[in-house]
Structure 1
Amino acid sequence: MKYTNAKKILPEKLIIEIQQYVQGETIYIPKQKKEYKHWGSLSGGRQWLDRRNAAIRQAFKSNSSIEQLAKDYFLSIETIKKIVYSENKSSERH
């Protein structure tokens, strides 16, 4: 997060209005909800995890044991259980 002087970007009328609530302090103005990006959507990390989890689910359906999947993917048994027993939520993120 970078600091920007309000005088450089906001109209003076708006600055005067804001000063009625706060003066001389740093405030954070969040993005509008439509501007938020889901975790990993820019880096590709989310897609990578979705593909990995789909591969784990498929291997489990093809009779791979949870213990073997944990070893193959270097994950805990509990993490593998969460992946194979949960609904595939990747389609809800996009």
Structure 2
Amino acid sequence: MSYKNGKDVLPPNLLKQLQEYIQGEIIYIPKKGQKRAGWGENNGTRVIIEQRNREIFHKYENGKTVLELIQAYHLSEDSIRKIIVKTRELTVSQV
């Protein structure tokens, strides 16, 4: 993203209108028609977390205790339980 001076790129009447709202500050103007990527979509983090969560659920379903999962994944009990519940709901809704 590069900085551009409004008086160099905007028509004078539009510049005057914008100055009614903002003056001397930087403003971001999004690209036309572009959907912003969700969290973790560009760098693959979302996929990695989803795989980890399925792995946690699979291990829980195969007999691992919540305490064992806490120790293995270094997550809180609350996080492990949320992952189990959410993944179970997703699994049931896909059937």
**Residues 30, 66 of structure 1: CA spacing in aligned structure 2 closer, same or farther, 3 A cutoff?**
farther
Match of 1:85 in 2: 85
- Return the alpha-carbon distance in structure 2 between the equivalents of residues 33 and 54 of structure 1: 34
Q: Please, what is the CA RMSD of the aligned residues?
A: 2.4
Q: Give, in angstroms, the shift of residue 72 of structure 1.
A: 1.1
Shift of 1:27: 4.7
TM-score (ref. length: structure 1):
0.73
- In structure 2, the partner of 1:28 is 27
Deviation string 1:33-77 (CA, Å, 9 cap, x unpaired) is 853111110010111001100111111111211110111112122
The whole-number CA distance in structure 2 between the counterparts of 1:70 and 1:85 is 15
CA distance in 2 between counterparts of 1:78 and 1:63 reads: 18
The runs of at least 4 aligned residues of structure 1 exceeding 4 Å deviation read: none
Q: Percent identity?
A: 30
Shift of 1:4: 3.2
Q: Aligned residues, how many?
A: 87
CA separation in 1, counterparts of 2:64 and 2:29? 45
**Which sections of structure 1, spanning at least 5 residues, go unmatched?**
89-94
Q: CA deviation at 1:8?
A: 3.1
* Residue identity opposite 1:26 in structure 2: E
